[in-house]
Amino acid sequence: MNDISTWDIVRNLFDGAVWTLALSLTAFVFGGLAGLAILFARIAKHALPRRLALGYIEIFQGTPLLMQLFIIFFGGSLIGLEISPWIAAAIGLTLFTSAYLAEIWRGCVEAIPKGQWEASASLALSRFEQMRHVILPQALRIAIAPTVGFSVQVVKGTAVASIIGFVELTKTGSMLANATYQPFLVFGFVALGYFALCYPLSAYARTLERNLHGARSH
């Protein structure tokens, strides 16, 4: 235990944090793309895609992320796919992120006054064109703050991936705590690492929200 210095702990945790960041970015980018598709289904004209999207969102919001990861991990090997913890975590967190973002963005789209839909419809825009040129640009403005706010949940969610064996910040911390017998110090550093990743995002989301409300009141 004596040959692992505090500096070694910090350096190893930093390497782990890089993977936390990589997983967060992957989940956020792909989750955003998938979330956009689900958003379109969720506000579609026809009832079937709307219901399917609603079911998708409710399932991912109503079950533990850990269970979702287990099912992907073990379900993959069931159909003969050897899924690595990294792939399982990336898929799981992407699906998780997409469900939440779709629901957040739906709220933003629905906050756009109905008159905007009607006005653009009266200009003979198709539903897709209405979304593309009229609704989404306005919804985007109010969506940025809650989207940045949710990114904090994604970063924190990646900690659960440590349980299926993906070596990121939390897993690195567990291994170091076992190796050094200094759990207080190690998990303190781990918590600080997450705080360093998440706090700027939280603060930025708050600033965005304040600016938006300020802009509205004028």
Partner 1 sequence: MSYVFDFPAVFEHTDALLAGTGRTLALTAIGAVIGIALGIVGAVCRAWRLAPFDRLFAVYVELIRNTPFLVQLFFIFFGLPAIGVQMNEWQAAILAVIINLGAYSTEIIRAGIEATPKGQIEAAQSLALNRLQTFRHVVLPPALLKVWPALCSQVVIVMLGTSVCSQIAAEELTFAANFIQSRNFRAFETYFIVTAIYFLLAIGIRQLMMQIGRRLIARRP
Q: Which residues form the interface with partner 1 (CB under 8 A)?
A: 59, 62-68, 70-71, 74-75, 78-80, 152, 156-160, 162-163, 170, 173-174, 177, 182-188, 190-191, 194-195, 198-199, 202
b/e burial code for range 61-85 (CB count within 10 A of at least 16 → b): eeeebeebbeebbeebeeeeeebeb
Of 110 and 118, which has the nearer Cβ to partner 1?
110
For partner 1, which is the closer residue by CB, 120 or 170?
Answer: 170
CA atoms of 99 and 89, how far apart (whole Å)? 15
Q: How far is the CB of 37 from partner 1 (least distance, A)?
A: 23
Q: Which is nearer to partner 1, 38 or 152 (CB)?
A: 152
Taking the complex as a whole, the smallest distance from the CB of residue 70 to partner 1 amounts, in Å, to 4
Axis crossing angle, helix 6-42 with helix 183-217, rounded to the nearest 10? 40
Q: How far apart are the first and last CA of the chain?
A: 61
Pairwise CA distance, residues 25 & 27, whole Å: 5
Between 137 and 188, CB nearer to partner 1: 188
Closest contact distance (angstroms) between CB of 66 and partner 1 is 5
CB of 88 to partner 1, least distance (A): 12
The nearer residue to partner 1, 69 or 131, going by C-beta atoms, is 69
d(CA 7, CA 139): 46
Q: Name the amino acid, one letter, at 133.
A: H
The minimum distance between CB 183 and partner 1, in angstroms, equals 4
